[in-house]
Structure 1
Amino acid sequence: MVWSAKADSPVSLLDSNFVLDKDGNAYLKSAAGSVLWTANASSKGASMRLLDSGNLVVLGRDNTSTSPLCSSFSNPTNTLVSGQVFVVGMALKNMAYRLEIKSRDMMMYYTGLERSQPYWSATTDIRTITGRKGDIYSVKLGLASWYFYDRSRSLVSQIFIPNDDGDAIANTNGTLTAVLGGEGSIAFSILQNGSGRSSHPKGIPLGSCDVPARCSPYSICIDGAGCQCSSALSSFSNCNPGIMSPCSSRDEFQLAQLDDGVGYTGTRFALPVATNTNITGCKDACMNNCSCVAVVFNQGNCFLFDQISSFHMRNGRFFTSFVKVPRNNRGSAQGRRRTGITIVYVIGPLAFIGVLIYVGLCIYGRKTQGQAEEYGYLETIAGAPTQFTYRELQAATNNFFDKIGKGGFGSVYLGTLPDASCIAVKKLEGVGQGEKEFRSEVTIIGGIRHRHLMAKGSLHRCIFCTKEDDAPLLDWDTRFYIALGTAKGLAYLHQDCESKIIHCDVKTENVLVDDNFTAKVSDFGLAKLMSREQSHAFVMLRGTRGYLAPEWITNRAVSKKCDVYSYGMVLLEIISGRRNFHPMEV
């Protein structure tokens, strides 16, 4: 199989059918009548054709394959075939692995961690033959090579794909395929008419251990020898220290050194937090960083990681790796195994009885609580603001009728309480955080005391005036007053709150002004909460294009300086009266 309409969530053959309607739109339809997938292309007199190249196309009335309404080649799943062009914006996906053209290069990513981790690129592959300088914009799979082109379609480089003997592929009757497997490697093979499939011994990446998560977390991948656990972690279950909260007291942890030569795939494309340093300084950097769970030292370069997949045994002794483990994890592995056996025989039966009692109580609790559980968790938020049920907010906003704005993760509506107080209600849409994180953010952010209903709305309405707007032009004193108020708001979040808050999305749309042009920072949907002792944190990319600090782009640890950078872009917009970024200009 080289293409699937719904590779991520296959449909059942029993309750679905494929339709090409009279308007020329192709779609999958369930037995209940709902559309499961659509090609989003329609034209009178359209037809569908499977070309000799393997491309499934929907053709318009002109019936030409050079400009189809849609094609499977434009929406690949996990396979490319010879002659297929792969361009910027496309992606091959399989499980937690992804191939795409990004940062002017073709790269492979592991998405199983909180932040995607690159682990291969075309420009760094030792098989790449560079012809001329240029950025990769499109890729084409030939019979013996992968060809890389720039935006002007000039050949930049290529990767030679040899056969078993290391020679060029002589058979030109078959079709070369590149398949991204669920284990994270790309395998090449030739589909030959009437003779099945012929596989190539060398894929991408070259080494089996160059793929993240080849083994379980914290285990060591050894080329040709499989997976093993370091002696420093052998006393832990599944070789995993099991640290759930690395931000506890520093005295609770210590760094355990792994075997000589053990490195980590993530160092290949990551930027070190320090250069020209020593092992002692590198270890101190990890112990002083709340989020750090592992540190890798390589010839003066120090790399910190907040999440770990599997390690890799490197040739030579240039890598030195440490893992943060509980300080009280001492004693021989043999003694621990004996203690574990005792616990199983003595505590096991008691634990089983306890589980039965717990399950019974849960079933009983669900029957007695009923619908009240939907709002029960709100009562556990200590020190939170006044709480309202969904029905109360629905009545106050006249069923969310008067929409006054839109921010991260939802829209904002104007409402009136029974005591005639005006309120602004944000209705969350598509929030992916868990209940625990939601409670924490409501508790902390609820303590930020300022008026949330601002008469003049967002700052961008005041400074980016269009011909249709009747807003007056702001004088310099007013612009200075707004800029100063915004800076004070950020300083309050960074220094004066009980928990340090990095806003992560400072822009003119998230600065509100009242009748007196007093500025207030708003919309904390992307905010990151940190302890007062914490200076940096590793988080997923968030924010708005045009305001992103360099740390976001380079996958480095972020700090309050990211907000300061974004504030600088806002300040330039306040002064100039124009946006720093226009999508139509890209």
Structure 2
Amino acid sequence: MADYTLLHLLPLICLLTSSTVAQNNGNISIGSSLTATDRTTPWLSPSGDFAFGFQQLQNNKDLFMLSIWFHKLPDQTIVWYPWNVDPLPRGTKLELTSDRGLVLSNSENSSIWSTNSIADEVSYGFFNDTGNFVLARSDSVNIWQSFDNPTDTLLPTQIINVATNFFYKAYFATATWDAANSSNAGYQLIFNEMGSMYVLKRSNERYFLHPTQPALPASDYYLRATLNFDGKALWSLPENICADIVGGEGNKGSGPCGYNSVFRLNEYQRPICECPRGYSLLDPNDKYGSCKPSFIQSCDEYKLGSPEDLYDFVEIIDTDWPTSDFERFNPYSEEDCRNSCLKDCFCAVAIYRDNSCWMKKLSLSYGRKDTNLKSKAFVKFRKGDVPPQTRSPSPPVSEPKKKKNGALILVGSVLLGSSVFINFVLIGATCLGFFFIYHKKIAKIPQINDVVGSNLRCFTYKELAEATNGFKQELGRGAFGIVYKGELPIGSTNIIAVKKLDRVTQDDYKEFKTEVNVIGQTHHKNLVRLLGFCDEGQHRLLVYEYLSNGTLAGYLFGDPKPSWDKRTQIALGIAKGLSYLHEECSTQIIHCDIKPQNILLDEYYNARISDFGLAKLLMINQSRTNTGIRGTKGYVAPEWFRNTPITVKVDVYSFGVLLMEIISCRRSLEGLEAGGDGGREILTDWVWDCFQEGTLEDLVQDDIEALDDVKKLEKFVMVGIWCIQEDPSLRPTMGKVSQMLEGVVEVTVPPCPYPFSITV
């Protein structure tokens, strides 16, 4: 079991007498409901220790959270909430129903969230004194409970079962997996009534996560284990996060704090995240989040002047980002270390320690401050962009500035004392001079400098030609170019994929800039990461991370057929990636060409959306655009052919087709060119026929795993049919698609997807 965060226990902060509001036995009957208002009384556990209902937000009295909280504590600390439900407006209703369990609906009676994954009819609800809300059958068997759906808090008696492997390297692990004897592996994390937390092995052996027994019975104390940094730490793992963070290939992600941040422990061994000088929080409200630099360093700026004139360093003691190195020099002097970083346009920070120099580039990961490091960090900043800590209210004017001011005053005096004609001549000459100087500077900066992705590396064509061995090994090709495999000379795992545009027309260059700009602004686990680009002369290339398992097309339509579980996880990953592009980016992005060839798979077969060359961008206040037909035959939404505005719903349509391919492991137009095979030529038609006729087993044929999971199969098919509705307004958003696939939102029976078309 591995965890990326701390576990803390909260001691009793307020003892209350038992003279509380009169309690029932904790039973909640079918038909009971709560409404989000200021005066609604929540459902209480028998002792009144816990409350379940709507808690009003402190910073917005018109918004509420459906949650469970410590009812008797002054601050009413929340211990559970539906993790995928946003703050709710006044008037939202929660009702206990027999067929869907708990149902959360808005004022228009539309469902927002429910526990509809339950298989049996609910007879009643029970809210017990452990803080667990339970839905039960008539024979008192539990069929849903909040303890099985944790968020950021564990309560005594709560058990967490093994879920999934987490591919980021852990800085703490219990190592309770026994490869030699898998039957004795750890399979449950238990938080018991005495405040102990341990991993239970199948042999009933216990592996405790703390050195001594806390002995804090839940009957005398309110206890909780959280994934946050609040509460008084009675014990924590690891004991010193700073000391346990080590550099290495496996350390992915930002670390305990965000990117470009620095982590340290205070005197109480509590974590503190800080931005280094010259950086500020990306989100001012997230003190544990990433930090952004005060300037964006560009290699092209080095052409405009010497590095010494452009940049300087802020020196920080005992600070390092151990996983962000791209170069090391040894032996080296401190002055050589500074100069090397100063002259390298990729270097953002240099670390000097023990006659060695480590050069680092953005994004900086696993930043830490520790007196044991005995190091100096030289953090680069552009002159004029003074770090916030050193900025003064009214900086003194430097000597060169005084001289420039003097020259301007002299010109003014000459003009005032000259004839009108001479004045015009001088003004014209001055303006013309400024024009040529300005034009010369602008001409030196390539157009691609408007790229927002501040962490993208600018490669030379020679570098990429050498990295790909003369563009020798082809990985694939698309409408705009060929992708080659390459390897950078720095490091041992720098395998890359280089996309080389094979045409250099004005339209292609526009697509090139689009792709760089789009991917440079995105960051999501289900999107392919762009590492850099080349914009040199007629050469236009994009450099991506290399994904070892190729395209979804090769995986999906190959032999043997991928497992049902793996296919459903891939479908969910694609949905979440599209939801991010459509709903979470500041500039809404329509991909326009979703298909199996544009979905790549990493080493763990996680889906990663690629190829944004056709992407269409929408500003926040836009919802649709007009453009020529884009996409691939078999995945193109009907509105492309109707000269109607294009919205994100074209991606939803393409995803629906792709989802059907994932379900059936068949291509969308399989056999069409060869004359077909009995009505299965067009996959979307065949899926609709199978759904209508109740023969979904035909879609998966001999796939035993899928046939044993017939409810999920039916749900995925219905989601796919909703996505390919001919009327775009009937298609769900990708956010809702994700929720439907996860079972969070109920999937209703879809109508005929093409009521406006005649199908043969």
TM-score (ref. length: structure 2): 0.36
Point out the structure with max Rg over C-alpha. Answer: 2
TM-score (ref. length: structure 1): 0.44
